[in-house]
Amino acid sequence: MINSMTGYGRGSSTKNGFTFSAEIRSVNHRYADFSLRLPRELYALEERIRRTLQEAVKRGRVELSLGLDEVPAGVRQVKMNYDLAEDYHRTLQDLCRNLQLSDQVKLKHLLQMPELFKTGGISVAEEEVWPAISEALQEALEQLLEQRRVEGENLGRDLLERCEHLDNMVAEASKRAEEAKEEHRHRTEQKFQELLAGHFEETRLIMECALLVERMGVDEELVRLRSHIKAFRENLTGTAPAGRKLDFIAQEMFREVNTIGSKAGDYQLTNLVVELKAELEKIREQIQNLE
């Protein structure tokens, strides 16, 4: 099943007294690109977390934000900056004396001062926190992948409809190409009949006429174009990520349509080529969203 590259997921888990929350966003990207925002205490787990994401997401830019929301009692330490507290106390006392205030500096005044307290770092064992991290990640990934799957289904249906439209236009172009070739052959024969009156070599003129009409033929290009549409449809309904391959096939279809346009000496066929290019451009825009 084809998947989109855009989605969002969120998960949380509490185990062994640790609570983690995970948010994952993914957007379009040419390759698989992962950006992780982790608490400092979890830097050692970055590679393990990255591998978990790589197993689930094959293409797209993925941004993970992992938060450590709660820790067991006694694990995190709160420290007092005593030197700063003494400075604050002394400064406030000086202020009272200079302004001739009778107020006394109390604890409640000091508690309003910034940076008196700081939270000390914590040391965690990998296997102690991994169960909660893994569960939060899996929950977020499940939501992310479900969104990518649903959007991928919608894109797949749209692209299949566009393939059907391409088939119809190619059939119409094939029919018109045969008509145009016959009309051109008839006109060329008339011109050559006029030239024969001037005593040109008839066999040579007939050969030149045949070559000219043949050069206008687009049968081979139309056959290859049908083959590309078939391959596109097969990859679209496959089970493996196929965004890059579909983009390559679309490029090949563009080349064939461009060749048909350059060889077409017919107004109606040229208009069909323009319509084919417009439809292929829409297809390529949609492909950019596929994994």
pLDDT band at 111 (very low <50, low <70, confident <90, very high): confident
Per-residue model confidence (pLDDT) at position 17: 86
Per-residue model confidence (pLDDT) at position 212: 59
State the DSSP H helix or E strand holding residue 117, giving kind and residue range, or none if neither.
Answer: strand 117-119
Percent of the chain scoring above 90 in pLDDT: 49
Residue with the larger pLDDT of the pair 129 and 74: 129
User: Does 148 score more than 60 pLDDT?
Assistant: yes
* Phi/psi at 15 (5° precision): -150, 140
Query: Mean pLDDT over residues 259-269, rounded?
Result: 82
Range with the lowest mean pLDDT among 21-25, 55-59, 75-79, 164-168? 75-79
Q: If you average pLDDT over every residue of the chain, what do you get?
A: 86
Per-residue model confidence (pLDDT) at position 199: 57
DSSP 235-284: HHTSSS--HHHHHHHHHHHHHHHHHHHHH---HHHHHHHHHHHHHHHHHH
User: Does 260 score more than 60 pLDDT?
Assistant: yes
User: Measured in whole angstroms, how far is the alpha carbon of residue 87 from the centre of its chain?
Assistant: 55
User: Does 101 score more than 80 pLDDT?
Assistant: yes
pTM over 0.85: no
Per-residue model confidence (pLDDT) at position 238: 79
**Residue 185, CB half-sphere, CA atoms under 13 Å: how many?**
15
Percent of the chain scoring above 70 in pLDDT: 86
Residue 76 zone, left/alpha/beta (φ > 0; ψ -120 to 50; rest): beta
Distance CA 185, CA 180 (A): 8
Distance CA 225, CA 112 (A): 75
What the block records as the tokens of 190 is 């008339």
Distance CA 134, CA 12 (A): 10
* Cβ atoms < 10 Å from Cβ of 162: 17
Per-residue model confidence (pLDDT) at position 54: 94
Distance CA 171, CA 95 (A): 92
Per-residue model confidence (pLDDT) at position 82: 85
User: Does 117 score more than 70 pLDDT?
Assistant: yes
* Contacts with 282 (C-beta within 8 Å, 6 or more apart), sequence order: 162
* Cβ atoms < 10 Å from Cβ of 75: 15
State the DSSP H helix or E strand holding residue 99, giving kind and residue range, or none if neither.
Answer: none
Per-residue model confidence (pLDDT) at position 278: 94
Q: What is the pLDDT of residues 184-227, one digit of tens each?
A: 777 777 766 766 665 556 566 566 555 555 556 788 899 999 99
Per-residue three-class SS string for 22-83: EEEEEECCCCEEEEEECCHHHHHHHHHHHHHHHHHCCCEEEEEEEEEEECCCCCCCEEECHH
User: Does 279 score more than 90 pLDDT?
Assistant: yes
pLDDT band at 145 (very low <50, low <70, confident <90, very high): very high
Query: Mean pLDDT over residues 142-155, rounded?
Result: 95
**Domains of the chain with CATH codes:** 7-72+125-148 (3.30.230), 78-119 (no CATH), 150-287 (no CATH)
Query: Mean pLDDT over residues 229-258, rounded?
Result: 90
Per-residue model confidence (pLDDT) at position 196: 62
Helix (H, G, I), strand (E, B) or coil at 1: coil
DSSP type of residue 102: -
Residue 253 zone, left/alpha/beta (φ > 0; ψ -120 to 50; rest): alpha
